[in-house]
Amino acid sequence: MVLHSMCRFLGAPFSRRRGERREEPGSGKAMARGVAYVSPAKLLAMARGNPRVAIIDVRGGGGGYQAHTAGSPHFPSRSFAARLPELARATTDKDTLVFHCALSKVRGPSCAKMFSDYLSENKEESGIKNIMVLERGFNGWEHSGQPVCRCTDAPCKGTCPPEPEPESEL
């Protein structure tokens, strides 16, 4: 049914977004202010049991939120700029934010950069020390076998039970 087509949408390639600003070769330097990439396995180890790490999902709002990392707030890239103050308020008790979109090629890194700039320009009260981007995005996270939550809560409460072990079904 509908859920199914949404899943397909999730995996859609970015070909239609070719016109978007490309990452420049030297962009690693521009993002020196604490924005670094983190692998799915490393992020899982960092976030597990650490309430000061938040994973921010910036994928599109139109059905891209079926599967997600447990507890990740959803700030779609389309309205991201307008919601910067809201995100800052929602994350005052965090020290590390990790942004991702589906592939973390364009939207994830650009939202991370935008938030980093926002914090330094507005001198918001914020304990955030690290702003990171999840390497290969949600798709990479899911494909590398990290836990995925499929609840329909908005926002996700992060209490989703782990997916049942396949062996119990057999």
The verdict on 149 binding Zn ion (CB under 5 A) reads: yes
Under rule CB under 5 A, residue 54 binds Zn ion: no
From candidates 61, 151, 155, 161, binder to Zn ion by CB under 5 A: 151
* Residue among 160, 164, 165, 168 that touches Zn ion (CB under 5 A): 160
Is the alpha carbon torsion for 95, 139, 77, 113 positive or negative? positive
User: In 3-state terms, the chain is what percent helix, strand and coil (to 5)?
Assistant: 40, 15, 50
Single out the residue of 56, 60, 46, 50 nearest to residue 12, CA to CA: 60
Q: Which residues sit opposite 149 in a β-bridge?
A: 68
- Minimum CB distance to Zn ion smaller for 36 or for 148: 148
Would you give the binding string for Zn ion spanning residues 102-141, x where CB under 5 A is met? ----------------------------------------
Q: Which stretch binds Zn ion (CB under 5 A): 37-45, 85-93, 103-111, 151-159?
A: 151-159
Active site residue 160: no
The one-letter amino acid at 153: D
Q: Parallel, antiparallel, or unpaired for β 96-100 and 35-38?
A: unpaired
Catalytic residue among 101, 111, 149, 156: 101
Least Å distance between CB 142 and Zn ion?
13
Residues 104 and 10: beta-carbon distance below 8 Å: no
Q: Which residues belong to the active site?
A: 101
